[in-house]
Structure 1
Amino acid sequence: MKIQKVVVALLLILVMLAGVLSYQHLQKVDEPVSALVYPKARDLQEFKLSSHLGTTLGRQDLRGQWTLAFVGYTYCPDICPMTMATLSGSYNQLKQMLPADAKLAIWFISADPQRDTVNQLNSYVGYFQQPAITGVTAGHDQLFPFVRDLGLMYAISSTTEPDYLVDHSASIVLINPDAQLAAVFKPEMAAGKVPLVSKTMLLADFPLVMAKLQ
């Protein structure tokens, strides 16, 4: 009789343990493959940029919306047009992964203010036919601290050639509606290939990132 009671007690313990483990498994959020979610969202410093429409933008303009931001330049031969095409082409699917009333914006941050005038940015943004895209730039005194604040980088060589290249990050950052840096989508690095955040990578990781942020 005592043995039966012990067996029953052990079975109950095993059932309870299995239930706890199952609950923990269901509650666990899968980790993004190519994205990093910051343990604590980081406040961005105030900035002053010019948009492709000629307006002035600051940190307040990031509030009330989710923003995917990418640093590049309009004369970029590969990473920039391919990444912007990915962001533009993925926009509707990404928007559906947010709460129904949430807004989603895309910022293309030009690291080449010398050539990327308002008219040049306007033409470039218009090419992607996505109203959610805003092209922004500024003098390097404003631009460089802002890009660095996003955890990104760019560098321009001191050349006098008109067709110079600009080195820049290939990552896409996610800014939350409180104007805080929340996550970064990192490009796939493979020998002989352009470093890119592909549409497949972005769509796979985005819902996992959002699940960790909510």
Structure 2
Amino acid sequence: MFRNIILALIAIVAVVSGVMLYQMQQQSAEPSHALVYPQPRTLSDFNLTDQFGEKVDRERLYGQWTLAFVGYTYCPDICPLTLAKLAGVQPELAAMVEQPLKIWFVSVDPNRDTVPQLNNYVNYFAQPAVIGMTAGHDQLFPFVRQLGLMYAIGNTTEPNYAVDHSASIVLINPQGQLVAMFKPPLQVGELPVVSSEQLMADFPLVLKKLNQA
């Protein structure tokens, strides 16, 4: 009888300890490939044009979560892979937040990425939440810079010139503030593209840290 009571107590303590350990691990869990800014960064106003020829400014960010990254439609690898991954996981990510979740593809190659070109490119991914946009470099450069991203264009006299650009994805909250950045893993011999699985794992941890701030 006494032995059974001791065994029962040991089992209860083990269960309680396991639950407490799990809760502690959950509370201390950190996103492995995402940076959450200590303070939200308010974005200055900007003036872009979307794939439908409509104006895009800071007000378009209000009332929604936005995942944004920069690239160009003639990009041979990083851009189509990133867009495909984002378009694929958008429904799952959107289910984690109350407000709508949009994906902004900001083209930093306005010379070639006209409104019709952007529209055709974005429609290929068959995800209504994905919106393409661009502008002149006078608008693009300061906007991209305040996102914490970068781009550089080399010799544009060649028809198939390349554009260097960041591969990270930034998260903007419904107040139009920059709050986090998702970074691709950097591995020798592999393209720096954000992993769908890692994004799915890190996104709820980022939201949790933002709610605790």
**What count of residue pairs does the alignment treat as equivalent?**
193
CA distance in 1, matches of 2:184, 2:137: 25
- How far off its partner does 1:29 sit? 3.9
Structure 1 length-normalised TM: 0.87
RMSD: 1.6
Alignment of structure 1 residues 184-199 onto 2, 5 Å: 184-199=181-196
Q: Is the CA contact (8 Å cut-off) linking 1:69 and 1:107 kept in structure 2?
A: yes
Q: Does 1:155 align with 2:182?
A: no
Describe the SS at the equivalent of 2:111.
coil
Structure 1's unaligned 5+ residue stretches are: 1-17
Q: Is the CA contact (8 Å cut-off) linking 1:69 and 1:108 kept in structure 2?
A: yes
The equivalent of 1:141 in structure 2 is 138
Alignment of structure 1 residues 100-111 onto 2, 5 Å: 102-111=99-108
Structure 1 208/27 Cα, relative in aligned 2: closer, same or farther at 3 Å? closer
- How far off its partner does 1:87 sit? 0.3
User: AA paired with 2:172?
Assistant: I
Describe the SS at the equivalent of 2:36.
strand
User: AA paired with 1:174?
Assistant: L
User: AA paired with 1:30?
Assistant: A
Residues 184-208 of structure 1: per-residue CA shift (max 9 Å, x gap) = 0001111111101010111110010
User: AA paired with 2:108?
Assistant: A
User: AA paired with 1:110?
Assistant: S
The equivalent of 2:63 in structure 1 is 64
Structure 2's unaligned 5+ residue stretches are: 1-16
Q: 1:201 aligns with which of 193, 198, 205?
A: 198
CA distance in 1, matches of 2:182, 2:49: 25
Q: Does 1:211 align with 2:208?
A: yes
Q: Does 1:176 align with 2:173?
A: yes
> Percent identical across equivalent pairs?
61
Q: Does 1:95 align with 2:124?
A: no
Which stretches of structure 1, 4 residues or longer, exceed 6 Å deviation after superposition? 21-24
CA distance in 2, matches of 1:24, 1:53: 47
Greater C-alpha Rg: 1
